[in-house]
């Protein structure tokens, strides 16, 4: 005897409610997370100078009992702009160097400061970004392929060669985490994609790919060319 597999009204209604709830959650979740992050940043930055400035206003202006939100952010921006303007002068650079030398004498502070400076300096210095090319590498095992960012186009090895090894950075979807991997140049295949597009792909856990690429065609292409010839 055949059974009727037609879904009941209650089952259909429950599935509709569940799908609608998930759809609404997917719409609201990014908005709520963005709001919370911006609110946290606003409170944190405003709290640097905001309470002090409002306290000064309450003591200097008669009958002033108001709190101005955002005045701390404006002050912080002015301080940052002022420091950036003064960094153009040699005397201020010497003061910064003297302050850095003092921080380097503090055991815990020098570790934190050094790590943060190493992360920030490639993006704020006059040198180019640490990665300019996107490559496809076979990692972490044969048959598995990952997008990577080329960070160094030559490596000095024990044999004295400089062109047959390269360094690529295989990041996670957090981008600040990952693994620098030394691979043979022949195993690093260039991808027709900008670093910005690769970063979007990596941060989105592979869900955003504005420039589709053919894996087989990519692996069939020649490896990245050496920038210099070894002797």
The enclosing H or E element of 170 equals strand 165-171
Residue 163 within a domain? yes
Average pLDDT over every residue of 174-188: 75
| Whole-angstrom Cα Rg for the chain | 27
CA distance 123 to 101: 22
In a domain, 54, yes or no: no
pLDDT at 122: 55
pLDDT tens-place string over residues 103-127:
888 888 888 888 777 666 655 554 5
Give the pTM: 0.45
Least-confidence region, from 40-44, 95-99, 173-177, 224-228: 224-228
Overall domain count for the chain: 1
Decide if pLDDT at 173 tops 60.
Answer: no
The mean pLDDT of the chain is 76
Q: Is the pLDDT of residue 43 over 60?
A: yes
Instruction: Give me the pLDDT at residue 230, please.
Output: 39
Inter-axis angle of helices 107-124 and 90-103, nearest 10:
140
Q: Is residue 159 part of a domain?
A: yes
- Give the pLDDT mean for 87-112: 85
User: Does a structural domain hold residue 141?
Assistant: yes
Instruction: Decide if 37 is inside a domain.
Output: no
Tell me the two tokens of residue 148.
Answer: 């990577």
**Is the model's pLDDT at 231 over the cut of 60?**
no
β-sheet with 178-184: strand ranges across: 178-184, 165-171, 145-152, 133-138, 189-190
CA 21, CA 135: separation in Å to the nearest integer?
40
Domain membership of residue 189 (yes or no) is yes
For residue 50, tell me if it sits in a domain: no
Residue 1 belongs to some domain of the structure:
no
Q: Which domain holds residue 195?
A: 133-220
């Amino acid at each position: 005897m055949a059974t009727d597999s037609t879904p009941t009204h209650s089952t259909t209604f429950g599935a509709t409610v569940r799908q609608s709830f998930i759809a609404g959650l997917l719409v609201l979740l990014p908005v709520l997370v963005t709001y919370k992050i911006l609110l946290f940043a606003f409170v944190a930055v405003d709290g640097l100078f905001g309470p002090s400035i409002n306290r000064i206003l309450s003591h200097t202006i008669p009958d002033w009992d108001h709190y101005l939100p955002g005045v701390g952010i404006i002050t912080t921006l002015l301080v940052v702009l002022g420091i950036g303007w003064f960094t153009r002068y040699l005397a201020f650079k010497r003061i910064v160097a003297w302050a850095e030398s003092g921080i380097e004498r503090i055991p815990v502070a020098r570790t934190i400061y050094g790590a943060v400076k190493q992360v920030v300096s490639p993006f704020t210095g006059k040198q180019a970004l640490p990665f300019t090319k996107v490559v496809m590498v076979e990692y972490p095992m044969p048959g598995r392929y990952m997008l990577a960012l080329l960070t160094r186009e030559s490596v000095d090895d024990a044999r004295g060669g400089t062109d047959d090894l390269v360094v690529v950075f295989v990041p996670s979807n957090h981008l600040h985490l990952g693994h620098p991997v030394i691979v043979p140049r022949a195993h690093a295949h260039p991808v027709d994609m900008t670093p910005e597009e690769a970063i979007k792909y990596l941060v989105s856990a592979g869900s955003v790919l504005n420039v589709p690429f053919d894996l087989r065609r990519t692996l069939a292409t020649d490896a990245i060319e050496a920038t210099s010839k070894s002797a």
